[in-house]
Amino acid sequence: MLAAIGVSSVQEIFERQIPEGVRLGRELDLPQGLSEQEVFAHLSQLAARNVSAEDELSFLGAGMYDHYVPALIDMLMERSEFLTPYTPYQPEISQGGLQVMFEYQTAISELTGLPVSNASTYEGPSAVAAAAYLAKLHNSKRRLVISAGLHPHTIETLRTLAHGYGMEVVLVALTTCSAGAAPGSTGGVTDPDAWAGAIDDDTSAAIFAQPNFYGAVEDAAALSAAAKDAGEPVVIAQVDPITLGILQPPGACGVDVAVGEGQPLGNRLDFGGPSFGFFAAREEYLRRMPGRIAGETVDVDGRRGFVLTLQTREQHIRREKATSNICTAQALNALAGVVYLAWLGRRGIVELGELLLSRTHYAREQLAALAGVEKLHEQSVVREFALRLDADVAAVRGRCLAQGVNPGVDVQALSGRDEDRGVLLVAITERRSRADIDRLAEVLGAAVASERQAVPA
């Protein structure tokens, strides 16, 4: 092969193609290779360090949740016609996969109250970034006004996108709530005056979360209206899909684009992924939506059929015209989402939301009654809430973990923000019973008490 291309060695190929200034000039600093048996033993040791939600009583959340996944989802996902196909380039032999996409889009549109859905994106934060890029394409403006109630990972993703496109990110703070404030106080949600004041004629998108990262239910209709009164941004909401059984859909609140993390819909935690992102919008944004959209049609004989109606990925159209450059769209995970929604049904998702509302209220009140524990805010919550501990959160978590209970997320460890010091984010799913919540209260109360005694006032 070397003779055929006219070189004497592989090294000569590198020297011809790679400038000397960027060559490493030494061997890679890697350990010596291992045998298959040694590699297996090493990987087994690494795997043994993992702890799953089946091994402990987990109240972790912050975007990924331990919901029950019915057996029928695995049964359908593992069918070869769904598990093995890739992009449905040939609709005549891809009708099943295309119909899954179409049914998924229909379910997401019904859930969000918006007329158009794509056939999924990678995951939640990248879906928000794709929505921000849609806004940039729509109005060519340069400012992104975002609520501090967005997930920290989403905020960082938006900042990365903004840097690449020469845009500015303006962060709107949440209202504060003093300790012991009465119910109905305004702490914990996006500051409405600062929100309206930050939006101007150069604002491309106004982005908030519903509920927000700290569990508080935002007034989505008021935020949307204030954004439109202050300028003409694309209003984007990062939505928890499970809460839409009891919260007003974003489409009814004036939101233009609703996106979010699809993992709660029939996807297990699986050590962090994979999952899928959902993306729904008003019809005027249809041609700037990322990914692909499956549509319904009829064939020459009048029979119902499905096709890829819009394909704005770079592998389908010219790169400079593409609205996304991902090479897949997590369609298998989206299949789990639509199966899960069909399994729940219209009434089931409402009942699930009501169950979470009830258990979350019970958990919040039980934990806030503990010495050294208080609510971060008094806003309404659905299935997640933030507490402030009068103790080091990492140390408290360590004590709880030793008792087989993961009490929640250390918010400062996730966000890196000083104002999140001492904040614990607790999530409830239908898998956490009242007895589980009582166990959490017992263990957390003892852990906080021990830490307060161990650290001098």
Last residue of a domain, one of 341, 372, 401: 341
Judge whether 132 lies within some domain: yes
What is the per-residue pLDDT across 89-132, written as a single tens digit (0 to 9) for each?
777 788 888 999 999 999 999 999 999 999 888 889 989 999 99
Do 61 and 80 have their domain in common?
Answer: no
Judge whether 397 lies within some domain: yes
pLDDT value at position 234? 97
What is the per-residue pLDDT across 418-433, written as a single tens digit (0 to 9) for each?
999 999 999 999 999 9
What is the per-residue pLDDT across 32-90, written as a single tens digit (0 to 9) for each?
999 999 999 999 999 999 888 888 999 999 999 999 999 999 999 999 888 887 777 77
For the cut 70, the answer to whether the pLDDT of residue 387 exceeds it is yes
Do 188 and 266 have their domain in common?
Answer: yes
Number of domains in the chain: 2
Judge whether 165 lies within some domain: yes
> What proportion of the chain, given as a percentage, has pLDDT over 90?
77
Do 64 and 95 have their domain in common?
Answer: no
For the cut 70, the answer to whether the pLDDT of residue 249 exceeds it is yes
Do 325 and 351 have their domain in common?
Answer: no
Do 169 and 314 have their domain in common?
Answer: yes
Last residue of a domain, one of 341, 361, 385: 341
Do 188 and 303 have their domain in common?
Answer: yes
Do 262 and 363 have their domain in common?
Answer: no
Average pLDDT for the chain: 91
Q: What is the CATH number of the domain that holds 168?
A: 3.40.640.10
Judge whether 18 lies within some domain: no
**What residue numbers bound the domain in which 292 lies?**
71-341
What is the per-residue pLDDT across 160-219, written as a single tens digit (0 to 9) for each?
999 999 999 999 999 986 444 444 345 899 999 999 999 999 999 999 999 999 999 999
Do 227 and 112 have their domain in common?
Answer: yes
* Out of 173-182, 278-287, 348-357, least confident range: 173-182
Do 430 and 320 have their domain in common?
Answer: no
Judge whether 100 lies within some domain: yes
Q: What is the DSSP letter of 420?
A: G
pLDDT value at position 184? 39
Do 147 and 248 have their domain in common?
Answer: yes
Judge whether 31 lies within some domain: no
Do 199 and 166 have their domain in common?
Answer: yes
Do 109 and 151 have their domain in common?
Answer: yes
> What proportion of the chain, given as a percentage, has pLDDT over 70?
94
Judge whether 438 lies within some domain: yes
pLDDT value at position 422? 96
- pTM score, whole prediction: 0.88
Rounded average pLDDT over 382-410: 97
Tokens of 306: 């499905």
